Structure 1
Amino acid sequence: MSVLDAPVSRAAASIAPDAAAPASATAPASTAAPPPPGRAGRIIGWVIVIALLLGIALLSMRFIVTNPDLSGTLNPESPGPNGAKALAQLTRDQGVDVEVTRSRAEATDALGSDATLVLTDPFTLSDAAVHELVDRADRVVLLSSSARMLRLLDLGEDAPAEGGTVRAQCTVPEFARVGEIDAARMFSPAEGVQGCFRSGTGAAAVLRSTAEGRTVSLVEGTRLFSNAELAQNGNAALGLALLAQQPRVVWYVPSFADSDISPDDEQTLGDLTPDWVTPAILMLLLAGLAAIWWRGRRFGPLVAESLPVTVRASETMQGRARLTAKAADAAHAGASIRTGTVGRLAARLALGPRAVVEEVADAASDRLGVPRTSLYDLLGGPAPQDDHELIDLARRLAELETAVENTVRTERKRP
């Protein structure tokens, strides 16, 4: 056994006192188990499991991927934290008539030269339906955005890793008194599109386009205009600057009931899966079957062992010591050595089994006449960080035990 294994083995023996005697399992010997099934039975079992997995995979591919219902997000009739009822009511307080509709046809009929079309990302409408709705309004405000809407309306693109507190910094009159907003999403304006509330890199939180005599404003207001955040910074002022510029507001809330997307256009999980996935799954299944055929024949019958089984305490001690040495965990080994040393010193100094490090150090200091501080550091100081410090700690602890043992023996020999 190496120099490192010796103190570790001593520590393992000290912290496992009940392993000093042979450990015997006293359970009665069990009867022999029936012989295992043959090779054919094992192969049939694996084939059944694989067939079940294939069936589950095929069924899951038939599920249709649908978008979640986001009607509660910036819903002008929702009083929840993510709704926009507070913004709608604040707009009404300014004398603006706010009409909420979930029908695209009603929204189209209600639009006029004195009305502002307000909507969130119309995920339930096709591109043609979005253009038809937007073309009927002279003023459009999108309170939430997506890459699709940026592309459809030619407003720009996302500006990744942008955001923070920004001010208007543009010539739009209604934004002059808004103040600061804490923008969560910024955009890079397209050519001919005005960007307001810009950051230092030129990204903008609000995009405004005036092409073809129509004013289109876009802002990511999912958090800015929610009931929970409307009172923060200049969020409410920005909402009024966007919505309260005309006598009427037509607020369209998208819903699946008003969708013009045909069920035939919906994609399944198989349509969204890349082409290489199916061949890869088949190859993995074939490889699994080959592995079962290859390794299945090596499974032999279970070997019955007579009981009871005796495990020597020395084997347990040496095994734990080798594991600790192999892991190179000097801190754990040092803690084990110190625990064993404290226990043996407490017994030698006639202290109780629950004596703490300070009590053992005080008793050893009185016995040896050495400073208590040095014994405190030795028995409860910092853990060793490498094998060199561990060996030095084990040597000093062994010397301490020897010194205490010598004083105890000397005291016993006195007349």
Structure 2
Amino acid sequence: MTATTPTVRASARRARPWVALAVLALLGAVAAVLLSGSGATGGRALGPENPAPSGTKALVEVLRDQGVSVRVVSSLDQARQAAARPDTTVVVDDAGSYLVADQWSELGDAASSLVLLAPGAAALDAVAPGVSAVAEVADGVRDLGCDVPELSQVERVHAAGLAYSAAGVDPGAGVDVTTCVRDPDTDGSGLVVLDDGDRRVTVVGTTTAFTNGTIATAGADDAAYALAVLGQSDQLVWYLPGVDDVPEGAGTLATLTPSWVTPVLLLLTATAVAAMVWRGRRLGPLVVERMPVVVRASETTEGRARLYERSGQRRHALDQLRIGSLGRLARLTGLSSTSSVDEVIDRVAGLVGADPRGLRHVLVDADPADDAELVRLSDSLLDLERATARAAAPS
């Protein structure tokens, strides 16, 4: 069998499936990043600069056409400074839950008009005590169901999002509570407005009504609803909290990890499992392979003999026979395998009554001049072994 080194073409052909799998995994990871959003303003859901169906760029453009100045900020300090200005509404979309209770309290104290998009428990406890999320609402169009002057032009809106309950608001706290877009299944509301005279907090759960994909659809007044909620002030600050806003020691792995990491890890794990299944080898029963050729042990000796004959190495061939004879004579006479040639010759000479010099000539010194002498010396070795065996045998 001839071993050959794999060519570059053969190696590339074997690596082709792995390259294709790696390309598919890379494309899938890129797609996951694009679908989930990179965490930046432009690609995130409800992002004010996101033109995708899940973004709110259309709403921002309409607000600007209506004379509302919209400014997007990404730090708590910027939002707090902007909130201190008169006739300013601050919209907060803390989808990553970066802010803690103290930060929410600071922002609530600074803003006279605060709009929270799908807020979590920390935001509600700090700036809207008594309000709590009760359920997630599937897509559907529902009646506004409330009497708010700003929403007088709105009859029906898309209700998909979160439903909130204001049942925990203290009646003696001097806060006017208005709930809209009631969900009959959970008895929650998609819009909750709290107004104590100094500060107005609007909790928006029906965030789907703000998105590019639904704001202009027929059968609902989403555009009028979004403009009424966000367009009551001349200045609108759209605050998107980020990792930089997380206080030292307050961040967790979940809050500090970008949203695209989880789908990418899941995709890579699925790819690795698929590769293992594809390239894996199942252990089955042993298979007996038939040998192509059966070689007799004597063929090795015969092959060497032919080589010696072809090269004329008669003495070398005879020496191989002598080595075997010396070993057998040592065993017959009770000597060890490490005994010297002289010891073997002396012991054999004593047993068979032969001249040690004649034995040494046959076992060591003789150099055959032709094939006939080689055969004669070979026969002499055989005769010597037979004689030694008879002499050493017990009588």
With the shorter chain as reference, the TM-score category is 0.3 to 0.5
Select the structure of larger CA radius of gyration. Answer: 2
TM-score normalised over the length of structure 2: 0.47
Point out which structure has higher relative CO (alpha carbons under 8 A, 6+ apart): 1
